[in-house]
């Protein structure tokens, strides 16, 4: 592979034992949606709805990782990463979401794990990264309490087969996205727009996490690391007004504390519960649920992309929406943006990590996703000199170093993503990979950012 040509200095300031990895998710890369007994997930269904996904794209082929897995593991090895974070597709392992295991589907993940281990790469399993079996959505989806129990059963099928070889099992990826974007905003599968259903989905995703964690720990034949990954940003007041401070509080409450408080403190945040009550809504908590949800776990996965400010007034100065709800309006910090039009805010990353350390102490943190989409310009060989992405990674890794200096217990960093892939509602237009995928030939070409990442890891390890 080429040497890196970027002028961005290599990462420094992290210990030789820091965990370096790359991350992906099943539906975004695998393709092979109808092979070896896999049944449709909510994303297969949603991506076929008119206008749901840019260009009408879907995950039918994606990066064809299902057929190119050994080559992709070789790519990871060439980058020198310690670990690979991938997700298991529920409808492959347990088609339809109930009943017995499908050995052919689970077999893919066994082969993947074996290939990783043979190459010295530690598998980091995510059990749920958004591909709910369609049959479970037909039965009500995450707003239906039964789905939490179905999830724990499915988790045990995976755990039973892989626990001998896999050290780390994380339950959910970004339950906020599943619940809020999937059941309230409707921009993610299943595309529903029902506020109360999204609250129920949140509760049942957390319950599923707790049930699965308890059952896996009870069945383990050797010690494992258990965790959950949350999407997190920062929510600062846009201005020094009471309205903006209240908007920031509400955004932080619904986006972060609604998840971390029950997980770590065994209760939903009182201010959020009061806000919900004011609109006639409530979390559907049954007796004993919060004990299950606050089951101890070992590592918190942090996905960070950007920080935001919030205003409590609309552009005309009104404090309430037409429906009477208080205005909570995101205002992006005035910084350069990525191709997603998201602001680039590494200092907010430090702020978040230090805050997690302060407000939720005693929990090791791993960055399970961080990365950026830019409009890549490949040369005739497919190589992308992505200074912008390289700079994004460098500044965010530096932000981790700064957070550690302030006490945050951050132990690893996974770049999102190994490959360009199916970026959900944005389809294939938005490229987050450190490796380019040519969607015609399906050829992979490491970008400059991948080479910078490789060289940084190597330099840190020998420092």
C-beta of 351: minimal distance to ligand LGS in Å?
A: 17
Residue 102, annotated as binding a ligand? no
Query: Which x/- pattern, by CB under 6 A, does the window 15-54 give for ligand LGS?
Result: ----------x--x--------------------------
Nearest CA-CA partner of 131 in 255, 34, 39, 23:
39
Residue 28, annotated as binding a ligand? yes
Quote the radius of gyration of the chain (alpha carbons, Å).
21
Strands (E), 162-203: 168-173
Give yes or no for residue 173 binding ligand LGS (CB under 6 A).
Answer: yes
Residue 243 to residues 250, 253, 328, 390, 430: CA-CA distances in angstroms? Answer: 11, 15, 9, 38, 35
For the question of residue 194 being annotated catalytic, the response is no
* CA 141 – CA 203 distance, rounded (Å): 12
Three-state SS for 94?
Answer: coil
| Cβ-based nearer residue to ligand LGS, 174 or 246 | 174
Instruction: Say if residues 256 and 356 touch (Cβ distance below 8 Å).
Output: no
Q: Which of residues 375-404 bind ligand LGS (CB under 6 A)?
A: none
| Cβ-based nearer residue to ligand LGS, 163 or 171 | 171
| Total residues interacting with ligand LGS, rule: CB under 6 A | 13
Query: Which x/- pattern, by CB under 6 A, does the window 315-354 give for ligand LGS?
Result: ----------------------------------------
* CA 278 – CA 413 distance, rounded (Å): 40
Q: Which of residues 222-251 bind ligand LGS (CB under 6 A)?
A: 231
Q: Residue 120 corresponds to which tokens in the numbers above?
A: 């010295």
Q: Which residue is nearest to ligand LGS (CB)?
A: 305
Q: Residue 37 corresponds to which tokens in the numbers above?
A: 């007994």
Residue 129, annotated as binding a ligand? yes
Which of the stretches 95-103, 141-149, 172-180, 191-199 binds ligand LGS when contact is defined by CB under 6 A? 172-180
Q: Which of residues 281-320 bind ligand LGS (CB under 6 A)?
A: 303, 305
Residue 416, annotated as binding a ligand? yes
Which of the stretches 6-14, 170-178, 245-253, 402-410 binds ligand LGS when contact is defined by CB under 6 A? 170-178
C-beta of 249: minimal distance to ligand LGS in Å?
A: 19
Q: Which of 30, 137, 174, 391 is catalytic?
A: 174
* CA 90 – CA 142 distance, rounded (Å): 14
Judged by CB under 6 A, the residue of 82, 137, 174, 252 near ligand LGS is 174
Residue 173, annotated as binding a ligand? yes
Q: Which of 30, 115, 137, 369 is catalytic?
A: 369
Give yes or no for residue 172 binding ligand LGS (CB under 6 A).
Answer: no
Question: Residue 142: exposed, middle, or buried by beta-carbon count in 10 A (0-12, 13-18, 19+)?
Answer: buried
Count of helices and strands (H, E) across the chain? 16, 13
Instruction: Say if residues 332 and 309 touch (Cβ distance below 8 Å).
Output: yes
What does DSSP assign to residue 2? P
For the question of residue 30 being annotated catalytic, the response is no
Residue 452, annotated as binding a ligand? no
| Cβ-based nearer residue to ligand LGS, 202 or 303 | 303
Query: Which x/- pattern, by CB under 6 A, does the window 418-437 give for ligand LGS?
Result: -----x--------x-----
* CA 98 – CA 120 distance, rounded (Å): 34
Instruction: Say if residues 201 and 186 touch (Cβ distance below 8 Å).
Output: no
Instruction: Say if residues 192 and 183 touch (Cβ distance below 8 Å).
Output: yes
Residue 256 to residues 137, 139, 202: CA-CA distances in angstroms? Answer: 25, 28, 12
List contacts with ligand LGS (CB under 6 A): 25, 28, 173-174, 177, 185, 231, 303, 305, 369, 416, 423, 432
User: Which residue numbers belong to the known binding site for substrate?
Assistant: 28, 129, 173, 305, 416, 423-424
Active site residues: 174, 369
């Amino acid at each position: 592979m080429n040497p890196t040509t970027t002028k961005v200095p290599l990462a420094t300031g992290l210990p030789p034992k820091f965990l370096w990895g790359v991350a992906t998710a099943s539906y975004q890369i695998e393709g092979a949606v109808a092979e070896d007994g896999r049944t449709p997930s909510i994303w297969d269904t949603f991506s076929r709805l008119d206008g749901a996904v840019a260009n009408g794209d879907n995950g039918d082929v994606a990066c064809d990782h299902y057929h190119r897995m050994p080559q992709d593991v070789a790519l990871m090895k060439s980058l020198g990463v310690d670990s690979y974070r991938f997700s298991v597709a529920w409808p492959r392992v347990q088609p339809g979401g109930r009943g017995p295991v499908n050995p052919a589907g689970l077999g893919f993940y066994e082969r993947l794990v074996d290939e990783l281990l043979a190459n010295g790469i530690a598998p980091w399993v995510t059990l749920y990264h958004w591909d709910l079996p369609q049959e479970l959505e037909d039965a009500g989806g995450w707003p239906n309490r039964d789905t939490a129990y179905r999830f724990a059963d499915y988790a045990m099928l995976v755990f039973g087969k892989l626990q001998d070889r896999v050290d780390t099992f994380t339950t959910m990826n970004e339950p906020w996205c599943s619940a809020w974007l999937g059941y309230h905003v409707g921009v993610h599968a299943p595309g529903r727009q029902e506020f109360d259903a999204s609250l129920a989905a949140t509760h049942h995703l957390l319950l599923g996490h707790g049930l699965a964690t308890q059952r896996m720990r009870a069945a383990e034949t050797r010690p494992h690391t258990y965790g959950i990954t949350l999407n997190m940003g920062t929510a600062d007041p846009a201005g020094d007004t009471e309205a903006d401070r209240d908007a920031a509080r509400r955004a932080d409450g619904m986006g972060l504390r609604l998840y971390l408080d029950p997980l770590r403190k065994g209760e939903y945040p009182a201010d959020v519960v009061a806000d919900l009550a004011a609109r006639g809504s409530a979390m559907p908590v049954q007796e004993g649920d919060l004990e299950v949800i606050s089951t101890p776990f070992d590592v918190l996965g942090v996905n960070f992309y950007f920080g935001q400010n919030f205003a409590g007034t609309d552009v005309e100065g009104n404090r309430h929406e037409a429906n009477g709800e208080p205005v909570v309006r995101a205002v992006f910090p005035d910084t350069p943006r990525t191709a997603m039009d998201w602001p680039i805010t590494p200092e907010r990353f430090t702020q978040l990590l230090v805050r997690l350390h302060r407000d939720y102490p005693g929990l090791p943190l791993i960055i399970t996703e961080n990365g950026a989409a830019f409009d890549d310009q490949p040369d005739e060989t497919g190589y992308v000199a992505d200074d912008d992405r390289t700079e994004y990674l460098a500044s965010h890794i530096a932000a981790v170093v700064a957070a550690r200096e302030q006490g945050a217990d951050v132990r690893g960093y996974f770049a999102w993503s190994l490959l360009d892939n199916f970026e959900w509602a944005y389809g294939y237009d938005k490229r987050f990979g450190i490796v380019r995928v040519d969607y015609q030939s399906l050829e992979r070409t490491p970008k400059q950012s991948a080479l910078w990442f490789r060289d940084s890891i190597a330099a840190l390890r020998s420092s």
